[in-house]
């Protein structure tokens, strides 16, 4: 008998445009001691399905239209709210996607860990605190005695996710639901979290539902895989069956979206467009009076028409290098030359004119786009600012940009919040290309996107790079993505350049231990051979 048996589950939402069938009659099982992965793009219904079983879908506008979700002999869909409260956090626990928004910023980590124990178990505060300390140690949080009274903002992203895992496991549940627990984490941190979940699952013999948009993420841990598209299950099977013999076109599409090849090297080595010599960008720590060497004595060249990949974990200094080249942060020392001009010495109009030739695509388009400006205004602003069009021709220039980045012209008067993540990133790319730049810094432009959308954006950037004759610095923590796009790759560690080479040379013969760590952390590494 399965731990969880879901049959014909249907969930819909009442909207102003009618009924939206988020989950349309799905059936699957979860066994004790097994990991069942539910895979699909954003909007496929995978999270809604799991939330609905625990009574976490607001009703209205949501509603359960039918089906059963039998957990240990009882149908969760027929439970009252008071009955579900006894199940949630005790027998069934959940790890949410973004721990920073799920953890209470006003409560210490220790109090939040103790809370489920105090609610569901008859234990004293002292016992609960001791159990919290033990579990913090078990999930790999350093110095739990020193950090248990810290607040969430005092932890890194990876450590906050470990706190969420500890909170989910503290009552020793029988079923664990992990909803995109590694999205936007560094590949090394992601690998640690995946291994942690797999190890804890085996140690405690619990059933796990692992929700993800990325098949590569679950390649090494899933026992069973369920593929969802538009609210329906289109394919299901064991890991080998899905990866070796996928039948449905959608599953094949997800597999094809996993970056797995190296870019063909440039036939010749053109002259350098950008030369970085002994670049240092240091920041002062106002609290401790210490100096943070974000970038420390780094030198390299970027050739005309080249895509140079820059990889490393968060905090390695890669984004700071891109911002230093564009003069978005003050450079401590060193020299950055763009087409023979020392960028570090430019000020005023000279710097403004140079920035027309150098642009940036930021990691989070929702944060970098002005929420009060339409697509038209966003794309028109840099064109008008640099005098590249007048009032008579600006409209056509904006529409041409929208065509170039694959946005429908009908969207021209819409605002950023009315677009999906992939569409917003296309707007950000269009804004960066508005001045017809020669050089673009792309800072983690696909890190939080679905794999299929990620693949579309990477293809778009390759196509536009050729069309616009762009030279590009592509910043990422994911070596597989960079290998697919870049002509050469630089590996950055703690502000220092530790290795460089082509994608093939780094993958096949890495020289540095840090590079080998990044390579080993790539999800589904076996799929990239």
Domain ranges of the chain: 4-91+173-256, 107-172, 272-522
Residue 53 and residue 58: Cα distance in Å, rounded? 12
pTM over 0.85: no
Residue 156 has pLDDT above 80, yes or no: no
Q: What confidence tier does 89 reach under pLDDT thresholds 50, 70, 90?
A: confident
In whole angstroms, how far apart are CA 340 and each of 276, 277, 306, 420? Answer: 11, 13, 17, 40
pLDDT number for residue 394? 93
Residue 459 has pLDDT above 80, yes or no: yes
In whole angstroms, how far apart are CA 202 and each of 72, 189, 196, 206? Answer: 20, 20, 10, 7
CATH class of 4-91+173-256: alpha beta
C-beta separation of 192 from 158 below 8 A: yes
Spell 127-137 as b/e; 16+ CB within 10 A means b: ebbebbbebbe
Spell 378-387 as b/e; 16+ CB within 10 A means b: bbbebbeebe
- pLDDT digit string, tens, across residues 129-147: 998 998 888 887 878 888 8
- For the chain, helix, strand, coil in percent to 5 are 40, 25, 35
pLDDT number for residue 526? 58
Give me 494's structure tokens: 């703690």
Strand partners, 30: 4
Residues 6+ apart with CB under 8 A from 414: 374, 375
pLDDT number for residue 171? 82
Residue 307 and residue 487: Cα distance in Å, rounded? 5
Report the first-to-last Cα separation within the chain, whole angstroms: 38
C-beta separation of 49 from 57 below 8 A: no
For all residues of the chain together, what is the average pLDDT?
A: 87
For the domain made up of 272-522, give the CATH fold.
Rossmann fold (3.40.50)
Phi, psi of 92 (to 5 degrees): -125, 125
Does 272-522 match 4-91+173-256 at the fold level?
yes
* Nearest residue to 255 (alpha-carbon basis) of 213, 222, 195: 213
Where is average pLDDT lowest: 76-85, 155-164, 231-240, 339-348? 155-164
81-95, 369-383, 507-521: which is most confident: 369-383
- pLDDT digit string, tens, across residues 267-312: 667 899 999 999 999 987 655 567 888 899 999 999 999 999 999 8
């Amino acid at each position: 008998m399965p731990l969880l048996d879901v049959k014909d589950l249907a969930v819909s939402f009442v909207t102003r445009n009618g009924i939206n069938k988020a989950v349309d009659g799905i059936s699957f099982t979860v066994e004790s001691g097994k990991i069942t992965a539910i895979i699909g793009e954003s909007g496929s219904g995978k999270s809604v399905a799991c939330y609905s079983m625990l009574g976490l879908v607001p009703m209205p506008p949501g509603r359960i239209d039918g089906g059963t979700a039998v957990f240990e002999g009882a149908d969760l869909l027929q439970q009252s709210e008071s009955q579900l409260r006894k199940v949630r956090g005790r027998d069934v626990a959940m790890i949410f996607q973004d721990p920073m928004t799920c953890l209470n910023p006003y409560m210490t980590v220790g109090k939040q860990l103790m809370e489920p124990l105090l609610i569901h178990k008859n234990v004293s505060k002292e016992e609960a605190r001791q159990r919290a300390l033990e579990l913090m140690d078990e999930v790999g949080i350093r110095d739990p005695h020193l950090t248990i009274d810290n607040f969430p903002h005092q932890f890194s992203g990876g450590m906050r996710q470990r706190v969420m895992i500890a909170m989910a496991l503290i009552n020793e549940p029988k079923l664990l639901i992990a909803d995109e627990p590694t999205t936007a984490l560094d590949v090394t941190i992601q690998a640690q979290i995946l291994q942690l979940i797999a190890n804890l699952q085996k140690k405690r013999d619990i059933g796990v539902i692992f929700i993800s948009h990325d098949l590569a993420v679950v390649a090494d841990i899933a026992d069973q895989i369920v593929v969802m598209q538009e609210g329906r299950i289109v394919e299901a099977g064991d890991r080998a069956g899905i990866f070796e013999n996928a039948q449905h076109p959608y599953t094949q599409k997800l597999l094809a979206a996993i970056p797995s090849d190296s870019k063909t090297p440039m036939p010749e080595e053109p002259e350098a467009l950008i030369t970085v010599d002994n670049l240092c960008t240091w920041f002062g720590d106002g609290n401790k009076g210490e100096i943070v060497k974000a970038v420390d004595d780094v030198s390299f060249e970027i050739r005309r028409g080249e895509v140079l990949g820059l990889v490393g974990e968060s905090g390695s200094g890669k984004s700071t290098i891109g911002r230093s080249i564009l003069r978005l942060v003050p450079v401590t020392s060193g020299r950055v030359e763009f087409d023979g001009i020392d960028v570090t010495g430019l000020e005023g109009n000279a710097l403004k004119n140079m920035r027309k030739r150098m642009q940036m695509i930021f990691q989070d388009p929702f944060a970098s786009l002005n929420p009060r400006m339409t697509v038209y205004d966003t794309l028109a602003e840099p064109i008008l600012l640099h005098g590249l069009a007048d009032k008579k021709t600006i409209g056509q220039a904006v529409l041409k940009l929208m065509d170039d980045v694959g946005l429908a012209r009908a969207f021209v008067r819409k605002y950023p919040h009315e677009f999906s993540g992939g569409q917003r990133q296309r707007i950000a790319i269009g804004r960066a290309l508005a001045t017809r730049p020669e050089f673009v810094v792309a800072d983690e432009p696909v890190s939080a996107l679905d794999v299929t959308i990620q693949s579309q954006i990477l293809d778009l950037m390759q196509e536009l790079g050729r069309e616009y004759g762009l030279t590009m610095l592509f910043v990422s923590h994911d070596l597989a993505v960079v290998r697919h796009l870049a002509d050469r790759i630089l590996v950055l560690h703690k502000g220092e350049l530790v290795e460089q080479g082509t994608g093939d040379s780094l993958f096949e013969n890495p020289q540095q231990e840090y590079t080998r760590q990044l390579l080993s952390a790539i999800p589904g590494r076996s799929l990239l051979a």
